[in-house]
Amino acid sequence: MSQTTKNRQVLLIKRPEGLPTPGDFKFKDTEVQQPQEGQVVVKTLYLSVDPYMRGRMNDSKSYIPPYQLNEVIKGGAVGEIVESKSDKYKEGDKVIGMLGWQLFNTVDDSKVTKIDESIAPVSAYLSVLGLTGLTAYFGLLDIGQPKEGETVVVSGAAGSVGMFVGQIAKIKGARVVGIAGTDEKCDYLMKELNFDEAINYKTTDNIKQDLEKACPDGVDVYFDNVGGSISDAVMSLLNDHARIPLCGAISSYNSTDGDMGPRIHGQMIKTRSLLKGFVLSDYADRQSEGLQELGKWLSEGKLKYEETVVDGFDNVVEAFLQLFKGANLGKMLVKVSE
Question: Using CB under 8 A, which residues numbered 224 to 263 contact a copy of itself?
Answer: 231-232, 235-236, 238-247, 250, 253-254, 259, 261-263
Residue 56 and residue 75 in contact, taking contact as beta carbons nearer than 8 Å: no
Whole-angstrom CA distances from 265 to 62, 219, 255 are 13, 19, 13
Q: Which is nearer to a copy of itself, 36 or 337 (CB)?
A: 337
The residue from 59, 91, 114, 134 that contacts a copy of itself (CB under 8 A) is 134
Q: What are phi and psi of 254, to 5 degrees?
A: -105, 10
CB of 38 to a copy of itself, least distance (A): 24
User: Which residues have CB under 8 Å from 75's CB, separation 6+?
Assistant: 47, 48, 49, 50, 53, 98, 99, 101
Q: Given the complex with a copy of itself, which of 214 and 237 has the nearer CB atom?
A: 237
Q: Which amino acid is at 59?
A: D
Q: How far is the CB of 72 from a copy of itself (least distance, A)?
A: 11
Element spanning 176, H or E: strand 175-180
Q: How far is the CB of 94 from a copy of itself (least distance, A)?
A: 12
- Residue 18, H or E segment: none
Contact stretch for a copy of itself (CB under 8 A) within 29-37, 83-91, 205-213, 268-276? 268-276
The span of 28-36, 88-96, 203-211, 276-284 binding a copy of itself (CB under 8 A) equals 276-284
56 contributes a contact to a copy of itself by CB under 8 A: no
Site residues for a copy of itself, window 290-329 (CB under 8 A)?
290-291, 293-295, 297-298, 302-307, 309, 313-314, 316-321, 323-324, 326, 328-329
CA nearest 163: which of 172, 171, 154? 154
Among 32-40, 89-97, 131-139, 205-213, the segment contacting a copy of itself (CB under 8 A): 131-139
Determine the distance from the C-alpha atom of residue 257 to the mean position of all C-alpha atoms in its chain, rounded to a whole number: 20
Within 11-40, which residues bind a copy of itself (CB under 8 A)? 19-22, 25, 27
Residues 195-224 interacting with a copy of itself (rule: CB under 8 A) = none
Closest CB to a copy of itself among 38 and 80?
80
The angle at the Cα of 27, spanning 26 to 31, to the nearest 5 degrees, equals 135
- Site track for a copy of itself across 94-113, x = CB under 8 A: -------x-x----------
Cα separation, 126 vs 48, in Å, equals 7
Cα–Cα distance for residue pair 214/177, rounded to 1 Å: 7
Among 126, 152, 207, 211, binds a copy of itself (CB under 8 A): 126
Instruction: From residue 67, give the alpha-carbon distance in Å to each of 13, 101, 128.
Output: 10, 12, 26
